[in-house]
Copies of this chain bind each other. A is one copy, B any other.
Amino acid sequence: MSNDSLKIPQATAKRLPLYYRFIQNLHSSGKQRVSSAELSEAVKVDSATIRRDFSYFGALGKKGYGYNVSYLLSFFRKTLDQDEVTNVALIGVGNLGTAFLNYNFMKNNNTKIQIAFDIDEKKIGTTIGDVPIYHLDELEQVLQEKDIAVAILTIPASVAQRITDRLASCEIKGILNFTPARLNVPSSIRVHHIDLAVELQSLVYFLKNYPGVEEAKTE
């Protein structure tokens, strides 16, 4: 990975996985080139934003021709390190956690949920979506054995900080936090927070205050 990637805006970085997914789809369907207008229609990001995003990576396309799909595919695969799998643990196998385990986002992707943890004896020792479920008591030991870099938190907010503190004592580098709790972590851990209540409230706020304004939908 070149150092150039350090200079791209974070908003652009957040859209890369989305572009990658649709370029995969285009490639699978046999398409050989694509214009920014077509990409825009598919990913619902305006084409000026797409052209600006792509421009950070140098000349990916040609004026009047568009982008070569195979080239884009190999470029994004490399940029997103698709060939290097990041091992993920999921903590909390309730409804939300189960949805994640059943969801196929580990396919065609550079992330794989390898293990899950819960405290419900009925779930421990079983698998969901091929992912084995361990007792939370074994957290530290199993995380180390399986070389886990990222944890998804789908646990009650009331225990989120306590479990985060335990994760901080392991080699965890990133947390995807689905609880409403705001987590205190050492600077070595990056937290992305997805608060479902805030997402819904935010949508309602936009409906009331930005009627008719198009959103850059992947912000």
**28 A/B residue pairs, CB under 8 Å, sorted by A:** A1-B208, A5-B209, A10-B219, A13-B202, A13-B206, A16-B202, A17-B197, A17-B202, A20-B201, A44-B182, A44-B191, A44-B193, A88-B200, A95-B95, A95-B102, A96-B99, A105-B180, A105-B200, A109-B197, A150-B200, A150-B207, A152-B200, A174-B204, A174-B207, A192-B199, A192-B215, A192-B217, A193-B217
User: Could you tell me if B182 and A199 are in contact, using CB atoms closer than 8 angstroms?
Assistant: no
What B residues does A86 contact at CB under 8 A?
A: 204, 207
Answer whether A200 and B10 are a contact pair too, CB < 8 Å, given A80-B205, A182-B43, A195-B18. Answer: no
Whether A176 touches B203, Cβ cut-off 8 Å, given contacts A44-B193, A187-B212, A217-B191, is: yes
Number of copies: 2
| Residues in chain A within 8 A of chain B (CB atoms) | 1, 5-6, 10-11, 13-14, 16-18, 20-22, 42-44, 80-81, 86, 88, 94-96, 98-100, 102-103, 105, 109-111, 149-150, 152, 173-174, 176, 180, 182-183, 187-188, 190-210, 212, 214-219
